[in-house]
Structures are given as C-alpha cells and as structure tokens.
Structure 1
Amino acid sequence: MQAGQLRCATWNVHRAKGSDGRVDPGRVVEAIDHSLAPLDLHVLALQEADGECPPHAGIFDVHDIAARTKLEYIDDPALRWGPNSDGFLGTILFMSSSLRRTRADVIDLPGHCHRGAVSVEVTFDKRPVRIISTHLSLSQPLRIVQMRVIGQYLCRRPPMQTILLGDLNEWRPWGGLMLNRRLVGTALRGPVCRTFPSTRPLFPLDRILTDAPGEVRQLRAVASVEVSLASDHLPLAATVTVP
C-alpha cells in the first residue's frame, strides 16, 4: 500500500432495493465483491444499509462483506442504532486493519426524517485522520443545518485531517451554503462525479471530500451492470492523500 494514500469508497445501497424494484441483499453483496473488493480499499462506507423503520434491523451479512473486501466491520455498540441494527440509521463503516482506531462517535442530526453521521478517528501511517460517513436530508435548508451540526462537532474535537464521505443529497457541484467554510468551520473539498440514478447518472449526490492539507484524487463512479441493478446509486471511489 502506498504511504499517504487512503483508498475510500462510499455507496448508498438503498436497503437492497435495486433499480428494477427488486429487493435482493445478496445482489448487493455480490456487486461489492466484484466491483469494490478489487479496489483494495482502506475504507468502505455504506448508507441505507439497515431497515428503514424501527428497530432498523440489519439487512446484509456484514461479516460476509468484511471477508470479501478484507476489511473489518466496525462493530461498536456506540455506532449502532439498536441491538438489531448493523449501523446507525443505515450508516455502516468497514476499515482496513492498518487503520488503528482511537475514537468513535455518532453525530445525531436534526430533520423531519432522522439522520445521523458516524465519525471514527484513526491513525494512518502515524498520522491522525478523522473519517465521517453520513446520509443527509433531501431538503436543502435541513442539509445546511445538518452540516452546521457536523461543523460544531469538528470544532469540539482535536484538529486533524477530516474525510467526509457519503450520500450528501446535494445535486449542485459547488455544494451551496452547506459546504461553506464559515458554516462548517473547515473547507471540505473534492471533485464531483455523477452517481444518481444508477442506470443513467445525472446528479452528483454522493461525495468524498477532505480538508487541507489533503486532497481527493482519482474520483470515479464505479459502474457495472451488477452495480446498476443492485441499487439506485452508483458507488463512488477515490484516493485521498494524507500528507
């Protein structure tokens, strides 16, 4: 593995409901195996990977996903919505064993539909890095409020490079006010790539962003017939530099 290069991917798996309307968790796991596992990832973030309604029960065999990707499922009770869940409101993280975890938090986000973010601080090549995965609201005003809450969390934590990845539900490439440095407290930047809908991508709803001194490189949507059928989003992958 090249020093200072974190390979990351994020995918909204739509609770295993594919673009053809069929619910098939096994199809999602196979798509991860064939299209994402070969990327030799350090970080894989999934959204909408638990049931929509309480008790938000798990949908996927997370240990099978971990085995296929050679990543560790972050099995921390503090990062789960409840005993039947695999993640917090469907947000699940898998990480390489080379990342030494030092802290994990859930950030509860306001909204008409309950939203949240999962933050994990790690050491990578003796450098501290914070990885936050989230799924933000469909409403632009709520996304602004949610990013402000994430920014307040960042202000309370020690300074370190932060990587934000997930389904931000922001269709505008520039991100609007929700990514304004004055609102968030740090400048989260990265190129954009269309990921939604999976059969004919028009909108860059999914993002991989980081703040200085790192940068996001080699951003691409991972497209295949298997992936397009498995969810209404395409996975997004990138390499993030950690100087």
Structure 2
Amino acid sequence: MTGPALSIVSYNIRKAVGTDRRRDPHRILSVLKEAQADIVILQEADLRLGQRPSALPRDRIGDTGLSAVAVATSAVSLGWHGNAILVRPDWAVRSVDRITLPGLEPRGAVAAVVATPAGPLCVIGAHLGLLRRSRQSQQHTLVEWVAGREEMPTLIAGDLNEWSARRGLGPLAQVFDLHSPGHSFHARWRLAPLDRIGLSRGLSLDRIDMLDTAMTRAASDHLPIRAGVRLEARG
C-alpha cells in the first residue's frame, strides 16, 4: 500500500433540508467540517427550480476545509444534476467529466481525476434513478464510461437508490467492489442501504462506517457514509 488511507465521504444532503423539515445549509457545512474528509461526494447539492442554485452558500464551502470541483455548468450551482465533489484545496484536479445517464428522470454523474499524494484517483459521484429499469441502464452507461479508463484507479460513490442489499447493482459489481456500512437511509429510521462506495482494481478498503450523531440525524434524511481507501502500490 502507498501512504495513509484517503478519507472519503458520500452524503445525500437533501438540498440541506433536515429531518426536522428545516432547510439549514450551515448545519450541513458543520457536518462536513467535522468529518475532516479528503474528498466529499455530495448528492442533491443544488435546488431543483430555476437555475438550480447551490443548496449550500458557495462562499462558505471553504469553511469545511475543502474546495468545490468545477463540475457545474451554471455559475450559481454547486453540482451537475445535483452531484458535486469537494476536495482538499492542496490537491490538484486534473480533469472533470459530466456523464449523462439514461432513464425517465433527468440524471447525470460527475467525475474528476484528483492528484492525491498516493497517486491519481478518478472519483465518480452519482445519484441513480428511482426505477430499477432506469438504474440498470444508468449502471451500464457508467460501466461503459469506465471501460475506456481502466488504467486509472476509480472510486464511485453516491446514493445508488437500491433498496436491496443483495441484488440490483449487478452491472456496477462487474467493475467495482461495492461497499455499504449499513442502512444509511432514513437517518432516523434506518430503512435501506441506499448509499454505497465502489472501488475498482488498484484500490482497497481500509474501513467504512456512517457518521451517526445527533446533528447528522437532523441535517438530512440520509446519514453520511465514510470510507478509508488506499491506492495500491504499482509494481
């Protein structure tokens, strides 16, 4: 292995609307600051209406110790189709891609190649559809996108919207080892393992858990999931 494990967090922030039905972006920022992650993958990071403005104050993102990757196509958005990536400000981002996903709902994924101290890492953030047929097509699209970049260690994370712990993610499982720390949705009632992290060859899982505190149970209907990920040394 090369160096310490990278700390990765994936979090569906539900547009900063908490389980108390209050929209409180500063509560989300506090969760992210306390997580002290190297890379954060967000879902539902933008509002739905109009130009889809960021659900978090863009001028306060730096308070988390992270910087927003430029995945948005709008000056007021934080993400694309609600997907956003935050990284340590001292880690360079070499490239950004937006991946259009098929299905009845408008969906997309974002990808960034991040220059970590252990080597380059491709990070994909995704929020898959509510219908299993759509999710299957979306997974195939993601697998095809990754197929042309197999030499790059790749991590995918997000709200994959699959309620089953045993089936439904077969296409992604062909490329990624998929991991879940348990039922991260609903934050208060623990109904399903919707949030997952997947690792390609060249990556290994050091640990995985959920950030389960009074604040995270209030801040969103999903709990943030956190993983320690190592890049394997290349021979």
TM-score by length of 2: 0.90
- Using the alignment, how far apart are the partners of 1:22 and 1:12 within structure 2? 16
Gaps of 5+ in 2: none
SS in 1 for 2:28: helix
- After TM superposition, list the pairs within 5 Å mapping 1:180-191 onto structure 2: 180-181=173-174, 186-191=175-180
Shift of 1:119: 0.5
Q: Flag the 1:120–1:239 CA change in 2: closer, same or farther, 3 A.
A: same
Q: Flag the 1:81–1:201 CA change in 2: closer, same or farther, 3 A.
A: farther
Shift of 1:221: 0.8
- Using the alignment, how far apart are the partners of 1:187 and 1:128 within structure 2? 17
Please report the RMSD computed on the Cα atoms of aligned residues, expressed in angstroms. Answer: 1.9
Amino acid corresponding to residue 18 of structure 2 in structure 1: G
- Using the alignment, how far apart are the partners of 1:158 and 1:4 within structure 2? 23
SS in 2 for 1:170: coil
**What are the Cα deviations for residues 185-232 of structure 1, in whole angstroms up to 9, with x where unaligned?**
x23332442100001212110111101231223211101111111110
Find the counterpart in structure 2 of residue 70 from structure 1. 65
SS in 1 for 2:122: strand
Question: Would the aligned equivalents of 2:8 and 2:226 in 1 still touch at CA under 8 Å?
Answer: yes
Report the structure, 1 or 2, having the larger helix content: 1
Find the counterpart in structure 1 of residue 37 from structure 2. 41
How many residues get paired? 230
Identity score, percent: 27
SS in 1 for 2:203: coil
Find the counterpart in structure 2 of residue 194 from structure 1. 183
- After TM superposition, list the pairs within 5 Å mapping 1:123-138 onto structure 2: 123-125=115-117, 127-138=119-130
Amino acid corresponding to residue 192 of structure 2 in structure 1: F
Matched, 1:18 2:18: yes
Shift of 1:175: 4.4
**What are the Cα deviations for residues 49-74 of structure 1, in whole angstroms up to 9, with x where unaligned?**
1011232111211332322x211221
Gaps of 5+ in 1: none
